[in-house]
Amino acid sequence: MEWTEPFAIFRIDETSMLTGVYDAPDVKKAKYILTYVAEPGDVLCRTPAHPKNESETPSYYCHKQDSGTIITDKEGWLEMLKAKNCSPEKFQRAESEQVEERV
């Protein structure tokens, strides 16, 4: 799996997998997508293309709460995954959507 962008947003799908829904070239664009486009529960991760991610899988950065706010709380996110019978290792890529910033 080749990662071309340093950030990706994942969503828990109906099979309890973390499916990539958006890729972003920088943190500003990624946070914009997470704030205005993503759904509660979606998670923003650094991909292996990011210089601070030394693993071969995406690493947690922050997520969108049910209230719609963005928070950095990996433990809280892991608890949410557990409640939805999902594992943080269950990442899968999907066709990424390009979202144009509307500011």
Query: Would 2 be classed as within a structural domain?
Result: no
* Residue 33 domain boundaries: 7-91
Residue 97 has pLDDT above 50, yes or no: no
What is the number of domains present in the chain?
1
Threshold 0.75, pTM exceeds:
yes
Query: Would 68 be classed as within a structural domain?
Result: yes
Query: Would 98 be classed as within a structural domain?
Result: no
Query: Would 19 be classed as within a structural domain?
Result: yes
Query: Would 100 be classed as within a structural domain?
Result: no
- C-alpha–C-alpha distance, residues 58 and 42, integer Å: 14
- For the segment 38-48, what is each residue's pLDDT rounded down to a tens digit? 999 999 999 99
- For the segment 20-66, what is each residue's pLDDT rounded down to a tens digit? 999 999 999 999 999 999 999 999 999 999 999 988 889 999 999 98
